[in-house]
Amino acid sequence: MDDVRVSVDVAGLARERLAFDSLRPGQEESVRAVLEGKDTLAVLATGTGKTAIYQLAGLALGGVTVVVSPLVALQRDQLRALSEHPAGVEVAELNASDSAGRRMAHDMLSNDRPGFVLLSPEQLTHPDVLDLLAASRPRLVAVDEAHLVSEWGQDFRPDYLRLSAAIRAMQRPPVLALTATAAPPVRKEIIHRLEMRDPAVVVGGFDRPNLNLAVFTFADDETKNRRLLSHVRSSRGPGIVYVATHRHAEDLAHELAIAGVPAQAYHAGLSAKQRREVQDSFLADHCRVVVATIAFGMGIDKPGIRWVSHAEAPGSIDAYYQEIGRAGRDGEPADIELFYRHANLGLNRFFASGGVTDADLLAVATAIDEHRPADIPELAAASGLSPARVERALGRLTDARVVAISHRFHLAAHVDVDRAVAAASAVEHDRREAARSRVEMMAAYAEYGGCRREWLLSYFGEQYDGPCGNCDNDLAGRTAAPADDQPFPVGSRVTHPTFGPGQVEHYTGNAMTVLFDRVGYKELRTAFMIHNHLLKSES
């Protein structure tokens, strides 16, 4: 793509076209990076106006902006005001079920008519869509909910794996990736899988001072569950309880209903119609409490959620922060409680230790080499594996850059099956180590004695000096004193003889946490590292 740089009054454009009084932190910086022709990853908290970033960038660039989103209907609604503006732009949805919208999108892409073309990642499985995109010259590709391209995210979408090939086919316009939650490993994977080139990374806005953070620790499940039920019954306003299993969601919703609390279960085991009914009931305030698995929340825009509780610790801080971010979006106080039992982490550790086997990698690589399938169902049939196992194996093979995806899956040039399996197996080994480290970080947060807001923000790479005065430790006067011995500055790069290079995340008492590039988070004894010369500043 030609290097096009655009100079524009971003704040003025926001006032004129979006009726903004002012821009929020991170918005102008992200838009300007795009207008300078840079790939850009914007990691900004929910409610900070990520949609406005691609709207403003697209308006300033002119031509077509392609928006890839799992929530096309939501994006269409958010763009409606632009299309109704006196100087409006066209908005079209590239959807097989909407022939009129499809024709309009085809015309916009073919003739470079200014506007926004929306498509879901599932549309990338259709060869005619890929051909249409390849024949077009969009000015910008915006990837909404970009954490879904990463398997570190909560709801990985394998169809996102085709995005990099589609972007290359469109002659490589600037890429704008947008997400509300992405710790460093997720950011790294987004950049890798979208093949972003030296991107500008805008991170900020994670601090939610209106959220009151608390952890309640229990020795047994019976006491924990009784306390959770009592807490939800006495809570005020609408709220969400996150649980680990479908069964727990059903049981707790039933107990609450018997106790007179309007509650419903929401999980992936329900039909699409049932899930939609629960969501609509919650949004309309007919249901006060939703007891949900991680399947609930994306696209929910209910500003007045007054509390979010977790019956068990999630598998990562990333998942936890995304889920608690659904509370208090109106800026009013909201309570965040984790009902924690250390023994319950066993299930998370079990899942973190599992993953892709070499046998699965061999079956998928062989099927790709022999059949060059066009999609996941074809690949599953050719390999004899379930679609879920195929998706995980395909993720490792693409991470190792030994499989390419366009219209069909194929091995990379000069790569045979054995080499593909070996490379992907090495990726899987490091990934398991990193997954286990993420579980331990969840435990570290739950058992932390200092300011919880400070801990969370440091995890996401945002500097914050506590105490915040709005978490259980601070309010109870339990906040631990900051570590005196900090030989490597927070945010600095270090190397370890076994773990390799990494970044210092934070210090707690006599320990330090380092996020290593290959194996994830490690909590290390600071004095031991220094005395034995095991950490060195990265030159």
- What is the rounded distance in angstroms from the CA atom of residue 280 to the CA atom of residue 278? 6
- What is the rounded distance in angstroms from the CA atom of residue 355 to the CA atom of residue 360? 10
pLDDT over threshold 80, residue 155: no
Q: Are 423 and 515 in the same domain?
A: no
| Res. 458 pLDDT band, cuts 50 70 90 | confident
Q: Are 200 and 293 in the same domain?
A: no
Least confident of 59-73, 79-93, 311-325, 350-364: 79-93
CB atoms within 10 A of CB 114: 15
Q: Are 48 and 161 in the same domain?
A: yes
Better-scored residue on pLDDT, 299 or 275: 275
Contact 390, 363 (CB under 8 A): no
445 occurs within a structural domain: no
Structural domain count of the chain: 4
Tokens read off for 113: 């008519």
C-alpha distance from residue 3 to each of 10, 62, 114, 169 (Å): 20, 14, 19, 17
Better-scored residue on pLDDT, 7 or 42: 42
pLDDT over threshold 80, residue 181: no
What does the pLDDT read at residue 230? 93
Better-scored residue on pLDDT, 132 or 306: 306
Q: Are 55 and 197 in the same domain?
A: yes
User: How remote is the C-alpha of 351 from its chain's centroid?
Assistant: 19
183 occurs within a structural domain: yes
Least confident of 131-140, 178-187, 225-234: 178-187
> Where do the H-state alpha helices sit in 259-357?
272-283, 317-324, 345-353
Backbone angles phi, psi at 191, to 5 degrees: -60, -40
What does the pLDDT read at residue 315? 84
What average pLDDT does this structure show over 505-532?
86
Tokens read off for 301: 């825009």
Contact 419, 402 (CB under 8 A): yes
What average pLDDT does this structure show over 22-42?
93
What does the pLDDT read at residue 483? 63
118 occurs within a structural domain: yes
CB atoms within 10 A of CB 447: 11
| pTM (whole model) above 0.85 | no
pLDDT over threshold 60, residue 2: no
User: Tell me: the pLDDT tens digits for 116-139?
Assistant: 999 988 888 788 888 888 888 899
> Where do the H-state alpha helices sit in 118-262?
127-134, 163-169, 184-193, 221-234, 246-258
Q: What percent of the chain has pLDDT over 70?
A: 92
What does the pLDDT read at residue 367? 96
Report the CATH number that the domain containing residue 162 is assigned in CATH: 3.40.50.300
263 occurs within a structural domain: yes
Q: Are 166 and 67 in the same domain?
A: yes
CB atoms within 10 A of CB 429: 14
Q: Are 220 and 362 in the same domain?
A: no
Contact 36, 65 (CB under 8 A): no
Cβ burial 137-169 (10 Å sphere, 16+ → b, else e): ebbbbbbbbbbbbbbbbbebbbbbbbbbbbbeb
User: Tell me: the pLDDT tens digits for 238-249?
Assistant: 999 999 899 999
C-alpha distance from residue 23 to each of 15, 53, 175, 437 (Å): 9, 10, 21, 37
Q: Are 123 and 31 in the same domain?
A: yes
458 occurs within a structural domain: no
What average pLDDT does this structure show over 99-106?
83
Name the domain boundary from 350, 374, 407. 350
Mean pLDDT of all residues belonging to the chain: 87
Q: Are 255 and 126 in the same domain?
A: no
Report the CATH number that the domain containing residue 510 is assigned in CATH: 2.30.30
| Res. 153 pLDDT band, cuts 50 70 90 | low
- What is the rounded distance in angstroms from the CA atom of residue 408 to the CA atom of residue 461? 38
What does the pLDDT read at residue 491? 81
Q: Are 44 and 19 in the same domain?
A: yes
464 occurs within a structural domain: no
Q: Are 186 and 73 in the same domain?
A: yes
Name the domain boundary from 412, 431, 450. 431
| Res. 156 pLDDT band, cuts 50 70 90 | low
Contact 537, 493 (CB under 8 A): yes
Report the CATH number that the domain containing residue 424 is assigned in CATH: 1.10.10.10
- What is the rounded distance in angstroms from the CA atom of residue 232 to the CA atom of residue 307? 9
Q: Are 273 and 232 in the same domain?
A: yes
| Pairing relationship of beta strands 289-292 and 263-266 according to DSSP bridges | parallel
- What is the rounded distance in angstroms from the CA atom of residue 177 to the CA atom of residue 194? 9
User: Tell me: the pLDDT tens digits for 409-453?
Assistant: 999 989 999 999 999 999 998 888 888 888 888 998 999 888 999
pLDDT over threshold 90, residue 381: yes
186 occurs within a structural domain: yes
What does the pLDDT read at residue 196? 95
pLDDT over threshold 70, residue 334: yes
| Res. 83 pLDDT band, cuts 50 70 90 | confident
Q: Are 228 and 196 in the same domain?
A: no
Q: What percent of the chain has pLDDT over 90?
A: 43
| Res. 481 pLDDT band, cuts 50 70 90 | low
Parent domain of 298: 211-350
234 occurs within a structural domain: yes
Name the domain boundary from 185, 204, 223. 204
What does the pLDDT read at residue 198? 94
pLDDT over threshold 80, residue 95: no
What does the pLDDT read at residue 351? 65
